[in-house]
Structure 1
Amino acid sequence: MKTWHCWFAVWAIIECGNPVHAATDNGVVVERIAGQWHLDARHADLPRLLDMVAERTGSKLHYSWLPAPEVTATCVAVDAAGLLKCLFGNSVNMAVRELPLATGKTAAASEIWIMGSTLGAANQAATSQCQSSVSAAAAEAPAKELAIATWLQQARSKNTGERLQAVSELARLNASSDDAAIRTALQNAMADSDSRVKLQAIGGIASRDGEEAVMQPLAQILRNGNAELRLMALDYIETDQTLLQMAARDADQAVRDLASLKLEQLAQPDR
């Protein structure tokens, strides 16, 4: 359980009221009504949508990659973190730190890290473009063995998106399945040429065996990976103070900030 995550309730309806601080842009509306943020997007460009959320709420967003170029959603939340939770679903992890209230502002703002290592398992709307190789029979088959066989085969695909989806599914299954074939596939995927696939595999092994089982590849990423990959790797480092302290001295500001946040949480007595 990542105790440093900070979640807020969201509702998928728009309440009646007079809109204030409204912003519209290419099918996106972000407005504040009666103390809550309302977002309505129809086939909106996802990077631009996130820019608007950050701009309107006064928040800072950090993310390494996104699962889809566009999104359709209707969300209501008390802050930016709640809107993002609504957009990406329960499978995506975030770290949230509150920012000081800016002069003239009445709504609190946050600095938010969206963990790219978990976006591969985001909601179906965000990953549907990667599902072409999974037959309808396999998707609907009740037999767990058939589903596992499908993902094991797709994990060897030459298509990066298909491998990402397959490894994400295998990582989820590994948490509850003691299957040697799944574990072998995840171990192989830790050497994948795509950083997103690699981090999903690391997470899948860590979910069953703990972060100690993947300390070596995580340490290698922190030393040699690019800034985006280093930020993603931090998602799986919860208790290793040596690696967190190394990341707290990173050349990238976002990596340093997230590592410092985790070290602060570790230092709390109730941890």
Structure 2
Amino acid sequence: MEVSQASVFALSLVFASLMLLVAADAIAKTGDVSNALQTSQPASIQITLSKQADTAIRLESRAAPLGQILKAIASKTGAQIHYSVLPEAPVTATCVGANVGQVMDCLVAKQVGLVAHKPTQDKPAEFWLLGSSVGSCQAVTVAPIAATEQQPTPEAQAEMDRMVQEQSDQLLKQTESKDPSERSSAIGNLGSVGVKDDPNVDAAIRDALGDEDANVRSQAIASIVQRGGDDVNDQISRALKDKAAIVRIAAVSAITDDVALLNQAVNDSDQSVREIAKSMLENLQN
């Protein structure tokens, strides 16, 4: 049986099309595998100290929350790091420096306003991340991991809501502890995981601004800012009048764009409060 040239050509086109489809499917599956591997990579933070002058501190983080990285730096170096809110995206970064200040510059200074105090004989290095720039931070070192979000089933969502409510209720009970460190921890956690729009949570956090312990009051203003609301600036103004400098530092660090509040803080009796306010005013003017 004879086969025409036209038939052979048509069959060739069909075969070529099938090969292209197979190749495209293989490429797509390869991409899916790559994304799956990327999203499944665990977060990690590694800080190495050495005796080499130029590389005394080396930080390597992969897909880790910025808050955890800052806590690791503070734990490893003894530095004091203050902030009210942080970018939520996971951070992947490699930073090497002769001191903790250089590592902090590498990690956040390009994207977040940073005020630093060098260490002295009786005081470690101290850093403040300024609230006016954190909210809009698009950090070079911040690398959100691409992932396809799957919507939970109604049953799964209900279970998650129940667990969040249960955790929130436990934290509310903890705010009544006689131990100020437990109250401080509870207030701080309510800011991040407390049930949204729960009046009991908001009331507990605002009541904590009147706590007898300065650390609790400091956590309270940070949590108030984190949860937001119409009266945030009023609460910051209240905290700026606190007798404890640590509370006023937390308050001024949380200001975003209220020039009147910053001008109030510029005249504070504490040097750190004044420097933070001055730096934030300069950031707003640039």
TM-score, normalised on structure 2? 0.50
Per-residue deviation at 1:227?
2.6
Give the aligned partner of residue 165 of structure 2: 145
What amino acid is aligned across from residue 203 of structure 1 in structure 2? A
Q: The residue matched to 1:20 in structure 2 has which SS? A: coil
Give the aligned partner of residue 128 of structure 2: 113
Cα distance between partner residues in 2 of 1:37 and 1:155: 37
What amino acid is aligned across from residue 162 of structure 1 in structure 2? E
Cα distance between partner residues in 2 of 1:216 and 1:154: 26
Q: Percent identity?
A: 26
What amino acid is aligned across from residue 221 of structure 1 in structure 2? A
Tell me whether 1:261 sits opposite 2:276 in the alignment: no
What amino acid is aligned across from residue 20 of structure 1 in structure 2? Q
Tell me if structure 2 keeps the 8 A contact 1:218–1:233. Answer: yes
Tell me whether 1:203 sits opposite 2:222 in the alignment: yes
Tell me if structure 2 keeps the 8 A contact 1:12–1:76. Answer: no
Tell me whether 1:12 sits opposite 2:46 in the alignment: yes
List runs of 5+ in structure 2 lacking aligned partners. 1-43, 60-73, 84-92, 118-124, 131-160
Per-residue deviation at 1:14?
4.9
1:149-187 Cα shifts (integer Å, max 9, x gaps): 21111111111111111111111124x622222122212
List runs of 5+ in structure 1 lacking aligned partners. 1-9, 22-31, 40-45, 52-60, 65-74, 100-109, 116-140
Tell me whether 1:238 sits opposite 2:256 in the alignment: yes
Q: After TM superposition, which residue ranges in structure 1, 4 or more long, deviate above 4 angstroms?
A: 61-64, 81-86
Q: Which has the larger radius of gyration?
A: 2
Tell me if structure 1 keeps the 8 A contact 2:172–2:204. Answer: yes
TM-score, normalised on structure 1? 0.52
Cα distance between partner residues in 2 of 1:224 and 1:14: 39
Task: Report the CA distance shift for 1:208/1:243 in structure 2 as closer, same or farther (over 3 A).
Answer: same
Cα distance between partner residues in 1 of 2:267 and 2:81: 18
Structure 1 residues 1-271: aligned runs within 5 Å: 12=46, 14=48, 20-21=52-53, 32-33=54-55, 37-38=57-58, 49-50=77-78, 77-79=95-97, 80-81=100-101, 83=103, 95-97=113-115, 112-113=127-128, 143-174=163-194, 177-210=196-229, 213-268=231-286
**Aligned-pair Cα RMSD in Å:** 4.4
The structure whose residues are more often strand, as a share, is 1
1:57-107 Cα shifts (integer Å, max 9, x gaps): xxxx7769xxxxxxxxxx972342575699xx99xxx842589xxxxxxxx
What amino acid is aligned across from residue 172 of structure 2 in structure 1? L
What amino acid is aligned across from residue 225 of structure 2 in structure 1? A
